[in-house]
Structures are given as C-alpha cells and as structure tokens.
Amino acid sequence: MNLISIAFLVFCAVTLITYFIIPKKFQWIVLLLSSIIFLFYNNLSIFTVVQALLVLIPSYFLGRKIEGNSNTKKGKRFLILGIIIIVGQLICYKYINIFIESANLICELLHSDRKFALIENSALIGISYYSLIMISYLIDIYRGTCKSQKNIFKCALFMSYFPILTSGPFIKYKDVENDLYGEHKFNYDRALKGFIRILWGVFKILVISQRLGMYVDVVYSKLTIFSGIYTILAVLAFPLQLYTNFSGSIDVIMGISEILGIKLPENFNLPFFSKTITEFWRRWHITLGVWLKDYIFYPLLKSDDMQELNKKCKKKFGKKVAKKIPLYASMLVMWIIIGVWHGGAYTYIIGSGILQFIFMVLEDLLAPVATKVNSKLGIKEDVFSYKLYQVIRTYLLFAFAMIFFRAESIEQALFIIAHCFVWNLNIMLDEEFYYVMPKIIGLDRYDVRVLIIALVVLFIVQLLARKGDVREKFLKQNIVFRWGVLYALMFAIIIFGCYGEGYDATAFIYREF
C-alpha cells in the first residue's frame, strides 16, 4: 500500500477509529488485524503467507527456547539456528534473482543451454525490516535484555506492526513491548501532534521530494543530453530528494503511531547539519546504525578474533595503529552489510557502503592532521565559518557517494561524474533556455519557485528544530496563527503537491489548453 494514497488514508482512518472505539484490552488485536491487512495488501498468496510464517514461526518458538538459556551454549545454538533461517530467507527473497543471473552467467560460460527464469519479485513489504527486527529480538532474548513473547499472536504483531513495514524504523522488543500490547486512551493533544507530523511528512514528500525527483529522474534517464550545470544540480538535488522522501515517510509513520499511543525511535536528527560523515551517520537512518552497532559492530569488535588481531598489530605497529586496524576492519564489514542491505547491486555496495567507509576512515586519520595544519595556518575550527565549510563539505561528500547509489550501474555513475566537468553555466543566460528547459525537464519556472519557497520553509523549520521541539512551541501559539499555518500547509499540499495528472513523465495536458 502506497503511503500517499486513498487506500492508505481509508485504511488508517478505519484502523484509528476502530482502535479507539473497542474495549482497550482488544486494541492490540485491532493492530494485529490491521497489520496483517497491510502486510498482505495486493500480495496475498500461499507464497507470501509461507514467506511471513517462515520468519514468525522460528522466531516465536526459538525465542521461547532461548529464554532461560541465555548466554549458554545451548541457547547459542538455538540463536544461530534462528539467525540462519531468517537471514537465509531474506537472501532468498531479496537477492534470489542475483543468484539466478549469476547461475545463468555460469551456464553461459560453460556453453550450456540451461537458462533459469528470473522469479517475479513478490517479497513481502517490510521484509528487510521485519527480518532484522526479529533477529534483534532473538539476540536480545539470548543476552537477557528482554523476555520472549509467549503469545504467538502478540509476537506476530511485533513482527508486522504496520507503520514499520514501509520504511522502518528498526524497533527493539523491549522498547515497544509495553506500548504495543498496552491500553491506550485517546489523547487529543497527542493526536494533534501526530496529525501535524503527518501533514509535515506529506508536505515534504509531495511538494519537495516528488518535485526534485522529476528533475533528477530526467537527468539520470537522459544522460547524454545533460552535462555541466544540469548534471551538477541533479547530483546536488538527489540527497535532498532522498531525505525529504525518506524522512517524510518516517514523519507520516511516526505521526500515525503517535496517535495510536505507541512510541517509536527517531530515525533522523537534522542530518544535513552534520560536520563530518561520521556524525552524519549518527543522524541519518539512526535506527539502522543502532541495529548494526548493537548486533554486528560491537560483537565483532569484542570478538576474540578481533582481539587477537589487535594484539598482533600492537606488537607490529604499536598501540595507536593497532587500535585502528580491528576498528576499520569491523567498520568495513559493517559498511558492506549496509550496502548489501540497501540492494544487491554494486552501486549500493559502493554508494551506501564502501565510499562511506572510505570517507569515515579518512576523516578519522586526517582529523588530527587537519587540526595541526589549521593551527599552523591560523584557521580557527570553532567558528561559524569553519563549521559552515564542514557542513558543506559533508553534504558534497554525501552527494558524491549518492551518485553511485542513484545510478543504475557503475558505468552510469562514472558517466555522470565525468559529465559534471563541463562548463555550460552560460547557457542559463540564453532566453531560450527558460522556454525549452521546462519542456524537457518537466519543471517550469513556477515549479522552481514553489521548490525554492518550500526548501526555505524546510530550512527554517529545521533551524527551529535545533533549538527544541517545534511542535510543542507551535501548539503554544494563538489559535489564529495555528490554524493559519495548518491551513497553509494543507492547501500547499493540495495545490502544489505533485499528484494526479500532469505528473507522469509524458502528460502535461493542462499546458495544452
């Protein structure tokens, strides 16, 4: 179910109303039924039901077995079994076509006529999220951090809680257990806050992200036409498009969950104010970072093998270097996993994996060097201008890596990069530019104006967010202001939102009149 659709609107309305009408002790059941509907919407088949059960059944039974055996060899065996099953099915459903393609490639090399058909992707929505969440569930039980859920239906709800299925965040059992199964009274203030957050999310998606996407999509699909300033603009616009889309979806999800009374962890914390890539990943897709840190990074670093490596390096290279080597090794593993999690293509592994790793390692290594150089040159590091430079630098680094993330292949990414180095700013001085461009790009000067204003609004809200809870402050204002802003937001979405006709690549019918 698309987050921005009539179907989802109706679905949420029905769920919310039912949720607050029925007796509170059945509220979790409403959530479970809604989640099942959402999970199997337009995708109900034996195939998909088995897919879901393949994670639920082992998680539930192994979870109960591991409890009571936490931190023991026996428990570990159950844990490893569970992880293998879950990771196995994730690889199967998500990456099966890569394997089939590889198999076909091998057959070709062996001059065999065998060709395997690609399987149509009917992976359940949220499979990448609920798989990792259930792994964290089992691990937490093993560590004694939480207890297992004895009721298989309640366990199913935890696995399929519908707000999570679209884009996360990654939740931990211990953090949501009470809210998820608890009783919730309708709270007007909380619902209002949730509603505002949903509006804001929709605004980011429909007015900003979709619009930016129109431009970026055209440039990336017609690579040979565009170069120089156009390509650069597309490269710079994509992180914004990605951010407003992703964080906008999260806002909608968090708003809905807030109305229900179920608190979820934040996934974004003003990432574009980061001064380094390292800091960036503590502000972007936060829950993914936490998941990796708690379940991969720390265990890896703490593992005996890593400690062995550390000792050996200490002997050879001394303490300072020895500290870094297992660290960087673990980071590399982590980043490759992140890259693969995003998608089984080299563009993801490079763009949201290896490049990020390289940036972070360079930052770690060069930071002390930079400090020395800056102090010698008299460059102050704790002033606004320097921090501004750092923020811009971080954005540029991220935008560069995202070229690979967005491109369809490595060649395409390199092509884009090469095409940035063309000087054609002077084209913008030509009158014709402003008539021809909208036809090709699909964005006319009105779109550009709306975009600029919307981005300014976004920026101001983010500046305010640095100081505190914007919604809290907003709700304290007088009614005329509050209602005025809400109406402005709602009508900005209705009028300027990129939905309906005129927003597919080919049709700009209203222009024909």
Separation of alpha carbons 245 and 239, rounded Å: 10
Q: At what angle do helices 152-160 and 127-143 cross, to 10 degrees?
A: 130
What's the min distance (Å) between Cβ of 68 and other proteins? 15
**Near other proteins in 180-209, by CB under 8 A:** 188
Q: Check binding of 465 to other proteins (CB under 8 A).
A: no
Q: For Cα atoms 436, 437, 438, give the angle at the middle one, nearest 5 degrees.
A: 100
Residue of 81, 223, 233, 327 that binds other proteins (CB under 8 A): 327
- End-to-end CA gap in the chain: 34
Convert 167-186 to b/e letters by CB count within 10 Å (16 or more is b). bbbbbbbeebbeebbeebee
Q: How far is CA 397 from CA 130, 199, 393, 405, 497, in A?
A: 31, 31, 6, 13, 30
Separation of alpha carbons 194 and 257, rounded Å: 8
What's the min distance (Å) between Cβ of 378 and other proteins? 24
What's the min distance (Å) between Cβ of 512 and other proteins? 4
Which is closer to other proteins, CB of 88 or CB of 502?
502
Q: Check binding of 298 to other proteins (CB under 8 A).
A: yes
Which is closer to other proteins, CB of 113 or CB of 512?
512
- Reading the block at residue 491, the tokens are 């009508």
Q: Check binding of 446 to other proteins (CB under 8 A).
A: yes
Which is closer to other proteins, CB of 71 or CB of 122?
71
What's the min distance (Å) between Cβ of 317 and other proteins? 15
**Could you please report the per-residue DSSP string of 252-281?**
HHHHHHHHHT------BS-GGG-SSHHHHH
Which is closer to other proteins, CB of 299 or CB of 343?
299
What DSSP state is assigned to residue 67? T
What's the min distance (Å) between Cβ of 326 and other proteins? 9
Which is closer to other proteins, CB of 97 or CB of 278?
278
Q: How far is CA 56 from CA 18, 52, 132, 373, in A?
A: 26, 6, 12, 55
The contact mask relative to other proteins for 469-508 (x = CB under 8 A, - = no) is: --------------x--xx--xx--xxxx-xxxx-x--x-
Q: Check binding of 384 to other proteins (CB under 8 A).
A: no
Q: Check binding of 444 to other proteins (CB under 8 A).
A: yes
Helix, strand, coil share of the chain (percent; to 5):
75, 0, 25
Which is closer to other proteins, CB of 19 or CB of 297?
297
What DSSP state is assigned to residue 350? I
Which is closer to other proteins, CB of 111 or CB of 476?
476
Q: For Cα atoms 271, 384, 389, give the angle at the middle one, nearest 5 degrees.
A: 60
**Near other proteins in 257-296, by CB under 8 A:** 293-294
Q: For Cα atoms 70, 75, 81, give the angle at the middle one, nearest 5 degrees.
A: 135
Which is closer to other proteins, CB of 177 or CB of 294?
294
Residue of 45, 71, 72, 374 that binds other proteins (CB under 8 A): 71
Which is closer to other proteins, CB of 324 or CB of 462?
324
Q: Which has the closest alpha carbon to 405: 458, 338, 328?
A: 338
What's the min distance (Å) between Cβ of 400 and other proteins? 24
Residue of 81, 301, 325, 437 that binds other proteins (CB under 8 A): 301
Using CB under 8 A, count the residues that bind other proteins.
Answer: 39
**Near other proteins in 94-153, by CB under 8 A:** 139-140, 143-145
Separation of alpha carbons 234 and 254, rounded Å: 29
Q: Which residues bind other proteins (CB under 8 A)?
A: 71, 139-140, 143-145, 188, 293-294, 297-299, 301-302, 307, 310, 323, 327, 444, 446, 483, 486-487, 490-491, 494-497, 499-502, 504, 507, 509-510, 512-513
